[in-house]
Amino acid sequence: MADRLYLLNPDWFDDQGGPWFCPPGARIEGVLGLYPRLREHLTVTYLDHPRPRPAVIAEVGEANQSCPLLVLDGEFDWPDAQVSEETGARFLQDDDILPYWAARYGIGRPHP
């Protein structure tokens, strides 16, 4: 089983206008571009912006629908992971994903 990454598709519209993209998701996409070998270890799913997001709800519950979201495969202990109260899945969101990838897959870390 691989870590599962959920990202939002770009160019959505909402009541504030658009088209929009997700800044944390763009940062994650940038890291995937710098380290393409990461994709070998991930299952990446792109979602539309509107909620509910059924694929994410099935993994981590309705309360944790924000993306980017990485559901951990359980093969690498990561003490900073959140745990879904609904499903028990361990996951990370936004910039918390990057230190995990550095530790697990040996990529560079973000400069402080």
Q: What is the structure's pLDDT at 88?
A: 97
* Assessment of whether the complete model's pTM goes beyond 0.85: yes
Each residue's pLDDT expressed in tens, for the chain with a length of 112 residues:
899 999 999 999 999 999 999 999 999 999 999 999 999 999 999 999 999 999 999 999 999 999 999 999 999 999 999 999 999 999 999 999 999 999 999 999 999 8
Q: Which CATH code for domain 1-103?
A: 3.40.30
Question: Which residues, other chains included, contact 23 with Cβ-Cβ below 8 Å and sequence gap of 6+?
Answer: none
Q: So where are the chain's domains? A: 1-103
Query: Do residues 60 and 87 make contact, with C-beta atoms less than 8 angstroms apart?
Result: yes
Q: What is the structure's pLDDT at 1?
A: 82
Going along 1-112, which residue ranges are E strands? 3-8, 12-14, 17-20, 42-47, 69-71, 82-83, 90-93
Q: What is the structure's pLDDT at 68?
A: 98
User: In sequence order, what are the beta bridge partners of 3?
Assistant: 42
Query: Do residues 107 and 35 make contact, with C-beta atoms less than 8 angstroms apart?
Result: yes
